[in-house]
Amino acid sequence: MLWRDVRGIILRTVPLVIFLMGWQVASYFTRPIILPSPTAAIGGLAQLAIRDELQFAILTTLTALSLGFATAAIMGTFIGMLIGWFKKAHTALSPYVYALGSSPSFVFIPIIILWFGIGFEARLVYVIFASIIPVIINVMHGVRYIESELIELAKSLGASQLQMLRHIVLGGATTFLIAGLRLGLVRAFTATILSEMFFRLEGVGGLLSKYSSVFRTPEIFGLIVVIISLSQVALGVIKLVERRLLKWKPQIT
């Protein structure tokens, strides 16, 4: 490890330490039900972990998130390629894609509950629905910005439309696809937690809802930290995917 890396880690730890110290100090002057100390929050989490409640909740949340987001990523790439590649499809469909993309997805929650209930399927549908649009939009853009020279190359080799999509269009859109995956993941995570809080109580979001209703503040704070950590893990996975898909690019950092 280089000194530069070590220094980076130290610099990034400083704000966290200051924050935790400030939190600890502030909690001395506040009633625990309003602001519990960081140690109390960790204690609350430990309580949940001892009863296996936390592990099970995390597993439930990650299952819905990964299944829903993977489906959205694959379907979104496919749909985005088709809409981006076929001019008529783009003219006909892109305004509706943008309209859906710029409206809050939670307005569809009542309909999703009506159609799919409040169980696992409903959560899955909501996660897919919320996260597929940014993937579609980005892939669509990526396809439209592919270098015309590469398309001409494939033509000169007598490629069919299907071969063109597979060998040229898909690869050419990866940079945009990654951007779409990042945006989509944030939405998918939000949708997962939201649906756990407002459909049937499940997963980490369900725990948060449950302990909120009985004013168990230490658990609430502990769960918030868990949720933030999970989002970082998810983004880490995207980083790995990015490194794998874009290793052909010059100077990727």
Partner 1 sequence: MIDIIDVTKSFLSVDNSRLQVLLQVNFHVNRGEFFTILGPNGCGKTTLLKIIHGLLAPDSGSVLIQGRPVSLRDKTRSFMFQSLNLVPWKTVWDNIALPLVLMGQNKSEIKEKINKIIEFMGLNGFEKHYPHQLSGGMQQKVAIARALVTDPQILLMDEPLSALDAYTREVLQDEILQIIEKRGLTVLYVTHSVDEALLLSDRICILTPRPARIKDIVAIDLPKPRRVSLKNTQEFSRLRKIIWDKLFS
Interface with partner 1 (CB under 8 A) = 149-150, 152-159, 163, 167-168, 171-172, 174, 247-250
CB of 70 to partner 1, least distance (A): 22
- The nearer residue to partner 1, 110 or 158, going by C-beta atoms, is 158
Q: Which residue carries 């937690």 as its tokens?
A: 193
CA proximity to 62, closest of 178, 182, 189: 189
- The nearer residue to partner 1, 92 or 153, going by C-beta atoms, is 153
- The nearer residue to partner 1, 232 or 253, going by C-beta atoms, is 253
Q: Which residue carries 């899955």 as its tokens?
A: 124
Find out whether 112 and 125 touch, Cβ atoms under 8 Å.
Answer: yes
- The nearer residue to partner 1, 156 or 232, going by C-beta atoms, is 156
249 φ/ψ sector (left φ>0, alpha ψ -120 to 50, else beta): beta
Q: Burial level of 67, CB count in 10 A (0-12/13-18/19+)?
A: middle
CB of 132 to partner 1, least distance (A): 24
Q: Which residue carries 């981006």 as its tokens?
A: 84
CA distance 48 to 204: 11
- The nearer residue to partner 1, 42 or 150, going by C-beta atoms, is 150
CB of 251 to partner 1, least distance (A): 9
CA distance 210 to 193: 13
- The nearer residue to partner 1, 121 or 152, going by C-beta atoms, is 152
CB of 2 to partner 1, least distance (A): 24
CB of 149 to partner 1, least distance (A): 5
CB of 128 to partner 1, least distance (A): 28
CB of 110 to partner 1, least distance (A): 43
- The nearer residue to partner 1, 178 or 191, going by C-beta atoms, is 178
Sign of the alpha-carbon dihedral angle for 206, 183, 141, 98: positive
Cβ-proximal residues to 107 (8 Å cutoff; 6+ apart), any chain: none
CA proximity to 136, closest of 173, 171, 168: 173
Burial string for 49-62 (b: 16+ CB within 10 Å, else e) reads eeeeebeebbebbb
